[in-house]
Each structure stands twice: as structure tokens, then as C-alpha cells.
């Protein structure tokens, strides 16, 4: 087993640190935010992620949480799991955290007495790994491998321990002692037959961006067709099922509704646009500009549907079911549902928001809305119910348990059973689906 360090205790870093400890490695997990480390030291994870708390409980003896970077001394593998948020100036990714992480490591490398590697897991534009490796010039016995992470919130533990693939980018695209050391770290995962790709830095960096921008493209494709379906009286759910049985297309990530949000897809799609623009590739880059425009339009479309159902705002109450950007998450970053809530508030509606996991952060983000824990309470006397997050609890709702003023529901995720709601006398509207 290896001693390893993980820099960054956000979604990516903390999940990786805990999963590596579960494989038997000794892990030092770092974050520059003292409050994050203070909470992790109490044994409690800092975000909602199914299975992660239990995995930490079972492996806490092998993880040390610290903000003191010198504690990485002696580790042979140093993972970079810090964020690459959208920069304040524009669409490109802000690389300051990855650069600072490498800088902060330099004085503490070489203490294991053996070779060591820095392994980048963050999502970065092409050229970054090469730039970071150049910062290590003169540090002997240390190399850098780019190893992007593909974890999905809500399924993060499974995606880390049972990934679809493992990608290693090296400076010359070849396997070497550094990839062998990383193999040792991932031995249990590789032993299950996980495909592993060894390639150059640029390809490894682009694989992650291509995966996320492809997923974004599929979602916008579905949303583009959903509006057309509404216009011509067709049904998006049947359409997607019928095209999705063709294996070349596949039905996953063709869920139409309010568009994608979260900490990755919007940011990475913006970064991809910045890369194409930077390289002067305007025509192919226009694909991603259109994907983003359709995504923005998706939640405007749902807002307009709501406004047209309500006719005017005077004293009207809208119950919004969901605040998290997707189900099984407490993350509200770029949440399309909260954007709709904000828009309706601006239009003068009385907006009541409920969510099983994200109420605390939603309340801070949208202080002028009303927040309640119980969906039934939210719907009480409402003129419209708008379902924006596909929580199982909402899918299971019995319309007979609800006491709205008007029985109007907009199912912005196409996740409710149309007939159940219609049979209870509700005016049901989905997105490209009735």
C-alpha cells in the first residue's frame, strides 16, 4: 500500500481521498480552507453524497485531514483535486488553484526516498499539464501524470471505485515508471478489467472536456427537440426512446426539461468555447455556443410556460419543488430551477421553494423567496406547482395528498406520471410532453 496525498477536499478531492483510503492507502488530505478541514476532522463530510460518509467512517484511521502542506512529506503519489472554476474575466478556466497547488508541493517532494508523482485530476485546458510539469524542472525523481476524473455527483463513490475508464496523460504519450506507480495505486480497480488509456497530455486533458461537452450537447439536443415537439404536437419522451434504442445514439442524457446545471457541465462548456475561440476555430466552436444558448433558453422556456399559465402575478403563489441542480444532491450551483424561481420572483409572484436536501444553501442564494421543508406545505393554496428537480419523493407524490388553490402542474423534468395527475383533475404540462 502507498502513502498518498490529495490536495483539495471539495467534491473531487474528498471523494478521491476517501476512496483511496478504502483501497488501503494511507492518505493525507489537504485543503486551504480551514473551516473545511475543521469539519472533516470531526469526521463529518462537507456535502451530501450518498455512501461517502459511511466509507469515511469505515476508513477514517487511514486519512489525516490537514491544512499543513508539509504533512505530504513522504507520500509517493500527490493528487491534485482542486477546482478550476470559471474565471471572473470570462469563460476560460481559472488555473490559479492547480498552479498554486504544484507550487506549494515543491518544497515537500522527495521525502519518501523513492520516486514520486504528481497526478492531476482537475479539468483543465490543453497545455496545462505541460506547463505544470515545467514547474518541476530541477526537482529530481518526480514526474507528472494527467489523470482526469469523471465522477458524477450522487454517484461519486461508484464512479471513483468502478470507473468506466482510466486515462493517463504523460509528457510523451508513453507508459513509464510514473504510470507504473499510478497503476500500483489503482491496482484493485485495474484488476477488475477497467479500460486504461495511456496518451499524451493534450489528449488526456481534452478527453474530459470532450466527455462533458458531449453530454451537454446531448441534453441541449433533447431540449431543442422538446420545444419543436410542443410546437407540432409531438412527444419528446417517445421520440427519445425511439431514437435511443439505436445503440449509436443511446437514450441516456437525452432528458429534456430545464437544461443542465451544476459545478461541471456549464463551466466546462464555457471553457471549451474559450479554447476554440483562443485557437481561432470559430466555426467548430459555434457548436458549443449553440449548446449553451439552447441551455439558457430551456429555463426561460419553462418560466414563460409558468407565466402563461398564471396570466398575471397579482397575489399568485407558485410552489417550486426542487432547488438542487439535480436529484440526490444538495448542490445548487447553476441550478436552473433556482433561476426560474428568481425570474418568477422578479415578475412579482409569491414563490415558495422546497427541497429535501438543498434548502439551506438555496435560502442564502435567494433570500426573497419563502422556503418550507414539506412539499405538501409548499403546495398548500398554490396557484401552480412547478417541479424542477426530479427527486424520487416528488415522483412518488400522490396528487390526492395536495391541497392547492388551483390544480395546475408544470413538470419541468418530465418525471411525473401524466395519467395519475390528469386523473386527479390536474392541468398537466411537461416540456415537449403532455
Active site residue 264: yes
Strand order in the sheet with 350-354: 370-371, 350-354, 317-321, 384-387, 408-411, 427-429
CA 2 – CA 400 distance, rounded (Å): 57
What track of x and - describes contact with ligand UDX for positions 239 through 278 (by CB under 6 A)?
--------------xxx-x-xxxxxxx-------------
- 322 is an interface residue for ligand UDX by CB under 6 A: no
- 8 is an interface residue for ligand UDX by CB under 6 A: no
In this complex, which beta carbon is closest to ligand UDX, that of residue 62 or of residue 343?
Answer: 343
Give percent helix, percent strand, percent coil of the chain, each to the nearest 5. 45, 15, 40
CA 362 – CA 6 distance, rounded (Å): 29
Partners of 371 in the beta sheet? 353
Q: How far is the CB of 399 from ligand UDX (least distance, A)?
A: 23
In this complex, which beta carbon is closest to ligand UDX, that of residue 65 or of residue 168?
Answer: 168
Residues 204-223 that bind ligand UDX (CB under 6 A): 212, 215, 219
Q: How far is the CB of 327 from ligand UDX (least distance, A)?
A: 8
Handedness of CA 163, 54, 123, 202 (dihedral sign): negative
Q: Are 79 and 13 in contact, with CB atoms under 8 Å apart?
A: yes
- 200 is an interface residue for ligand UDX by CB under 6 A: no
Torsion, Cα 222 228 233 238, to 10 degrees, reads -20
CA 287 – CA 280 distance, rounded (Å): 14
- 150 is an interface residue for ligand UDX by CB under 6 A: yes
Of positions 152, 227, 289, 370, contacts ligand UDX by CB under 6 A: 152
What track of x and - describes contact with ligand UDX for positions 342 through 381 (by CB under 6 A)?
----------------------------------------
Q: How far is the CB of 388 from ligand UDX (least distance, A)?
A: 9
Q: Which of 19, 185, 229, 264 is catalytic?
A: 264
- 168 is an interface residue for ligand UDX by CB under 6 A: no
Of positions 143, 153, 330, 355, contacts ligand UDX by CB under 6 A: 153
Report the residue closest to ligand UDX, judged by CB. 255
CA 4 – CA 213 distance, rounded (Å): 31
- Burial call 239-275: b when 16+ CB within 10 Å, e when fewer: bbeebeeeeeeebebbbbbbbbbbbbbbbbbbbbbbb
- 83 is an interface residue for ligand UDX by CB under 6 A: no
- The residues binding ligand UDX (CB under 6 A) are 150-153, 212, 215, 219, 253-255, 257, 259-265, 325-326
Catalytic residue numbers read 264
Amino acid at each position: 500500500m502507498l502513502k498518498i496525498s490529495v490536495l483539495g477536499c471539495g467534491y473531487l478531492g474528498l471523494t478521491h481521498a476517501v476512496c483511496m483510503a478504502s483501497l488501503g492507502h494511507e492518505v493525507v488530505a489537504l485543503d486551504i480552507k480551514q473551516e473545511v478541514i475543521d469539519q472533516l476532522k470531526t469526521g463529518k463530510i462537507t456535502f451530501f453524497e450518498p455512501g461517502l460518509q459511511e466509507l469515511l467512517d469505515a476508513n477514517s484511521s487511514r486519512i489525516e485531514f490537514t491544512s499543513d502542506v508539509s504533512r505530504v512529506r513522504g507520500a509517493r503519489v500527490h493528487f491534485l483535486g482542486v477546482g478550476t472554476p470559471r474565471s471572473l474575466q470570462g469563460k476560460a478556466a481559472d488555473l490559479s488553484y492547480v498552479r498554486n497547488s504544484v507550487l506549494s508541493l515543491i518544497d515537500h517532494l522527495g521525502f519518501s526516498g523513492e520516486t514520486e508523482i504528481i497526478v492531476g485530476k482537475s479539468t483543465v485546458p490543453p497545455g496545462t499539464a505541460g506547463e505544470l510539469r515545467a514547474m518541476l524542472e530541477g526537482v529530481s525523481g518526480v514526474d507528472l501524470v494527467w489523470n482526469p476524473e469523471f465522477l458524477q455527483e450522487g454517484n461519486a463513490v461508484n464512479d471513483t471505485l468502478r470507473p468506466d475508464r482510466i486515462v493517463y496523460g504523460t509528457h510523451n504519450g508513453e507508459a513509464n515508471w510514473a504510470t507504473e506507480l499510478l497503476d500500483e495505486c489503482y491496482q484493485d480497480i485495474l484488476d477488475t478489467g477497467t479500460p486504461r488509456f495511456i496518451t499524451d497530455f493534450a489528449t488526456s486533458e481534452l478527453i474530459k472536456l470532450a466527455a462533458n461537452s458531449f453530454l451537454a450537447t446531448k441534453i441541449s439536443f433533447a431540449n431543442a427537440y422538446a420545444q419543436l415537439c410542443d410546437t407540432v404536437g409531438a412527444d419528446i419522451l417517445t421520440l427519445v426512446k425511439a431514437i435511443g434504442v439505436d445503440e449509436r445514439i443511446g437514450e441516456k442524457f437525452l432528458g429534456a426539461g430545464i437544461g443542465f446545471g451544476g459545478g461541471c457541465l456549464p463551466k466546462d462548456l464555457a471553457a471549451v468555447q474559450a479554447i476554440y475561440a483562443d485557437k481561432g476555430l470559430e466555426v467548430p466552436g459555434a457548436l458549443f455556443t449553440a449548446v449553451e444558448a439552447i441551455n439558457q433558453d430551456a429555463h426561460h422556456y419553462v418560466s414563460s410556460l409558468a407565466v402563461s399559465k398564471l396570466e398575471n402575478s397579482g397575489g399568485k403563489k407558485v410552489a417550486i419543488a426542487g432547488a438542487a441542480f439535480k436529484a440526490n444532491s444538495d448542490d445548487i450551483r447553476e441550478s436552473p430551477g433556482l433561476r426560474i424561481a428568481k425570474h418568477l420572483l422578479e415578475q412579482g409572484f409569491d414563490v415558495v421553494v422546497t427541497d429535501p436536501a438543498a434548502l439551506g444553501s438555496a435560502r442564502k442564494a435567494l433570500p426573497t423567496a419563502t422556503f418550507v421543508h414539506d412539499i405538501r406545505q409548499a403546495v398548500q393554496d398554490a396557484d401552480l406547482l412547478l417541479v424542477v428537480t426530479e427527486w424520487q419523493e416528488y415522483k412518488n407524490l400522490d396528487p390526492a395528498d395536495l391541497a392547492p388553490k388551483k390544480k395546475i402542474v408544470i413538470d419541468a423534468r418530465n418525471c411525473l406520471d401524466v395519467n395519475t395527475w390528469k386523473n386527479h383533475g390536474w392541468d398537466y404540462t411537461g416540456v415537449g410532453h403532455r
